[in-house]
């Protein structure tokens, strides 16, 4: 990572202020940064039109007219967030908007640090970070294995892990949105994944769950996904009946309407007859029978997509343990044997 950006992100006593327009902030921002927009979305649009039609000088003049009445409130908001009078500031490229805000706050007595290159440089460094060879270990296994629970147990035993599904607010399957909050914008999801990795020691192994390139509506950084395909895998082989019990426990209290929508989303891949049968079982309250039908479908699809990688990169941990903690211990023990 660029040293200047690393130093900026380590300003623990400096609240970070994002001075871009609200829509830019909502799409993605440095996690933890507060939104203190110099211009509203509409004002930013007006300035852009002015620049295109009349040039830079006219656009700057319009910007000054728009910001003038807001100067006092901007300082007041910054002071409420930064009582020590120290802030970090960034805009898109580290140009006029962050420069103007820095001038205003410095005039009001703040100590201000600007991010060189702005948010754009942060995103560039994010992608560069994931192009590195990271010490990933991919936890894999068929649907219902409770990979998330096993990851949590590995972390409790001192291992490093990143829970991608928790950050994505999606469990990864057609039913993955059930019981979850709204997913973050794709850009901000990637930022939060980046921050999760930055908090870890990249000289030690980092556990991560086997995922598709997309988790619901968000997408993993390309470099991270490519690295996962090259990294060693641990395949957890749990009995079908154990996995079925876990699925029924996980989704047993979900609204039938949401389960039906999940089934409909895979109608084409499941096949019309099987899809109709699954829906009939749901309507009849036969959740276990429906889950068994769907689990056989997912097992077939998962096996087709992972057999080659398992053969090349992985090892299998066969287990009949019920608890995630016991399975985590078996996995660690398996890594200690050649």
CB 101 within 8 A of CB 33: no
Residues of the chain with pLDDT under 50: 1
> What are 135-146's pLDDT values in tens digits?
999 999 999 999
Per-residue model confidence (pLDDT) at position 269: 87
Distance CA 288, CA 304 (A): 24
Per-residue model confidence (pLDDT) at position 1: 46
Q: Which of 50, 91, 275, 290 is catalytic?
A: 91
H-run or E-run covering 127: helix 118-130
With vertex at residue 113, the alpha carbon angle to CA 110 and CA 117, rounded to the nearest 5 degrees, is 145
Largest CA distance in the chain: 72
Read off the DSSP letter of residue 238. -
pTM listed for this prediction: 0.91
Strand-strand pairing, 214-215 and 218-219: antiparallel
Q: Is 128 helix (H, G, I), strand (E, B) or coil?
A: helix
Residues 6+ apart with CB under 8 A from 123: 28, 187
Mark whether 91 is an active-site residue: yes
Percent of the chain with pLDDT over 70: 96
> What are 48-82's pLDDT values in tens digits?
999 999 998 998 899 888 888 889 999 999 999 99
């Amino acid at each position: 990572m660029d040293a200047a950006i690393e130093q900026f992100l380590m300003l623990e006593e400096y609240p970070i202020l994002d001075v871009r327009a609200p829509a830019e902030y909502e799409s993605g921002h440095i996690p933890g940064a507060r939104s203190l927009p110099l211009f509203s979305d509409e004002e930013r649009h007006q300035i852009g039109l002015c620049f295109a039609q009349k040039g830079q000088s006219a656009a700057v003049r319009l910007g000054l007219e728009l910001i003038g009445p807001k100067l006092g409130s901007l300082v007041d908001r910054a002071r409420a967030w930064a009582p020590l009078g120290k802030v970090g500031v960034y805009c898109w490229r580290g140009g006029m908007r962050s420069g103007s805000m820095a001038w205003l706050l410095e005039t009001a007595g703040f100590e201000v640090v600007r991010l060189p290159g702005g948010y754009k440089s942060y995103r560039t460094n994010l992608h560069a970070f994931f192009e590195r060879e990271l010490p990933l270990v991919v936890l894999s296994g068929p649907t219902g294995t409770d990979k998330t629970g096993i990851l949590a147990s590995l972390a409790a035993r001192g291992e490093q892990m990143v829970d991608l599904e928790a950050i994505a607010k999606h469990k990864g399957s057609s039913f993955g949105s059930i019981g979850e909050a709204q997913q973050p914008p794709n850009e901000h999801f990637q930022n939060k994944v980046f921050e999760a990795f930055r908090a870890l020691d990249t000289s030690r192994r980092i556990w991560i769950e086997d995922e598709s390139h997309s988790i619901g509506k968000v997408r993993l950084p390309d470099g991270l996904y490519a690295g996962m395909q090259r990294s060693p895998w641990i395949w957890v082989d749990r009995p079908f009946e154990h996995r079925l019990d876990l699925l029924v426990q996980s989704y047993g209290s979900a609204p039938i309407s949401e389960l039906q929508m999940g089934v409909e989303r895979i109608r084409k891949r499941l096949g019309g007859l099987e899809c109709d049968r699954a829906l009939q079982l749901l309507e009849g309250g036969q959740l276990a029978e429906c889950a068994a039908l769907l689990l056989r479908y997912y097992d077939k699809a998962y096996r087709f997509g992972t057999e080659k990688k398992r053969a090349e990169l992985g090892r299998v941990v066969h287990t009949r343990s019920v608890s995630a903690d016991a399975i985590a211990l078996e996995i660690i023990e398996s890594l200690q044997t050649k």
